[in-house]
């Protein structure tokens, strides 16, 4: 992370795990603003401003929702960067085209007056805990990128 940049998180399937790992680092209050756990669709709408129509059209586990979550988190926290994660950790919840282990990430950064968001889809293997741990590790690696 660039010096002086603050980050926020918007977490669904990881349930605050990314924020926990970030705050395990001494001095993280200098660059970590806080995070939102938005596990339900209602929480995504209420806490991040994700539209109900977007959720109905694409489903919570989608590029569109990960993008909206990242933008909403960054806007509400007033910071330079945000990471959002939404996925299916299992053991239930799979739907056609979205198997267990499907996770979408949104990485937002301020630029040209509007939030640029890069979305990434990953499919992780293993049980619920393994999927969540892999999602956290991936998010942290991406946050560390310049």
In a domain, 121, yes or no: yes
The whole-number pLDDT of residue 112 equals 43
Q: Give the per-residue pLDDT at 111.
A: 60
Query: Considering the domain boundaries, does residue 1 fall inside one?
Result: no
Q: pLDDT averaged over consecutive 10-residue blocks of the chain (146 residues)? A: 79 98 97 97 98 98 98 95 97 95 94 74 98 98 88
Taking CA atoms, 27 is separated from 6, 12, 145, in Å, by: 12, 25, 19
Distance CA 115, CA 123 (A): 26
CA angle 24/123/39 to nearest 5° reads 55
pLDDT in the model for residue 54: 98
Cβ count near 103 (within 10 Å): 26
Comparing C-alpha atoms, which of 43, 40, 15 is closest to residue 128?
15
Within a domain: 2? no
Q: CATH number of the domain that 138 lies in? A: 3.90.950.20
Cα distances (angstroms) measured from residue 144 to each of 7, 65, 93: 11, 23, 30
Q: Is 45 inside a domain boundary?
A: yes
Total of domains in the chain? 1
Whole-prediction pTM: 0.94
> Domain residues for 30?
7-144
């Amino acid at each position: 992370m660039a010096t002086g940049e603050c980050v926020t998180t918007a977490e669904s399937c990881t349930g605050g795990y990314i924020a926990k790992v970030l705050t395990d680092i001494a001095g993280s209050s200098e660059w970590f603003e806080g995070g939102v756990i938005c596990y339900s669709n209602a929480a995504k709408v209420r806490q991040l401003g994700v539209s109900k129509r977007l959720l109905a059209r694409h489903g919570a586990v989608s590029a569109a929702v990960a993008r909206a979550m990242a933008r909403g988190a960054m806007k509400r926290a007033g910071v330079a960067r945000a990471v959002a994660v939404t996925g299916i950790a299992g053991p239930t919840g799979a739907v056609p085209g979205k198997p267990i282990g499907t996770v979408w990430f949104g990485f937002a950064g301020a630029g040209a007056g509007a939030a640029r968001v890069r979305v990434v889809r990953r499919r992780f293997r293993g049980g619920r805990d393994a999927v969540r741990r892999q999602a956290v590790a991936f998010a942290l690696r991406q946050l560390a990128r310049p």
